[in-house]
Amino acid sequence: MARAWFGSFFPEWNLPSRVVLKKEKKGWEEEFEMEKATYARLRPLQGTVIPKFLGELRCDNTRALLLSDIGGVCLATPEGALLEVADFRRMLYQALTAVSQFRILQEDIKLDNFHHIGDKIMVVDLERVSEEPLSDEQLDLGIKYAVDSLAARYEDNQFCFWEDGLITIDT
């Protein structure tokens, strides 16, 4: 309780040791607002499925979001391409299902927008998400499409990284 009271007067003392500053892209005002709103809607998932939203600030005369650094590895990199595809599918399904409980689907389906951390996958980009309330059927279909699509890209990446000698496959 004392920590919360103290933190309300000196919030900078409660910041994590590593943060991410995500600056608004030129011409992407709507996406910036969407991402802020999505973090608010997904507050219960912050720190477990998505980064923690720490606030908004200005940097070099540009609006920016201050987010927790979740660590892990981007799934589009050789370091992120080491999962068994079945594990990849399971973890991705869990992350997208958690987000969908709030009637939201990630619409920017690319490996760059997901990080592997320990035994889970986290969503790191929330600029482009479904804007309209979706039915259960639409959510289920959206998750299935995303998992199938990303799993195919993930396998393609694994093959390319293996072919380029960037990863090895144990036999």
**What local confidence, expressed as pLDDT, does residue 131 receive?**
79
Q: Enter the tokens of residue 98.
A: 């958690």
pLDDT tens digits, 54-63 = 999 898 989 9
Domain(s) labelled CATH 1.10.510 in the chain stretch across: 73-163
pLDDT surpassing 90 at residue 169: no
Q: Model pTM?
A: 0.87
Instruction: Calculate Rg over the CA atoms of the chain.
Output: 18
**Residue 129: CA atoms inside 13 Å, Cβ hemisphere, count?**
27
Pick the CATH number of 73-163 from 2.60.40, 1.10.3470, 1.10.510, 1.10.10: 1.10.510
